[in-house]
Amino acid sequence: MVPYEDTLAGRDAIAALGDTPEHIRKLVDEMRNSDLARAYAPGKWNACQILTHLAQAEMAFGMRARLALTTENYVVQPFDGDRWMVREPTANAREAFQAYYAMRQWNLPLFRSLTVEERARTFTHPERGQLTIGGILTMLAGHELHHFEHLRQAVGLAT
């Protein structure tokens, strides 16, 4: 099973990748600065950090997809999101969202253009074994839905 696949609940990954940024945009537009500084639970990332993490993930997964499409026997370099967050300069939440949103607008046409064969193209993840480009799309779509819920929780809109 692909990580975060269950979060999609059977939805098409490409459809979710197109829709979710708009839902996040609407939520961020309504958030006050105090909301952006609030964590969704004690000891967890605040909304600004979640938006930063979404931008980082969009950058990383877009690059992974491109490398997997164009590199024979591609092996992913794993990354640790917590370590990236510690290293990231203090980000502005709205700027982090804009970076995530702009990269998604850049990545989405590529993702939508992939053929069935391209989505099935495999690469290796040192910790997860063989994955497919389609798996990247599923993981990315489910991952951001997972964090969208955290953003909702940070502003008191828990489901």
Enumerate the domain spans of the chain: 5-154
Question: For 5-154, which CATH superfamily applies?
Answer: dinb family like domain (1.20.120.450)
Alpha-carbon distance of 86 to 99, in angstroms, equals 18
Alpha-carbon distance of 135 to 13, in angstroms, equals 9
pTM metric for this prediction: 0.93
Per-residue pLDDT of the chain (159 residues; tens, 9 = 90+): 788 999 999 999 999 999 999 999 999 999 998 989 999 999 999 999 999 999 999 999 999 999 999 999 999 999 998 899 888 876 789 999 999 999 999 999 999 999 999 999 999 999 999 999 999 999 999 999 999 999 999 888 765
Q: What is the pLDDT, as a whole number, of residue 159?
A: 57
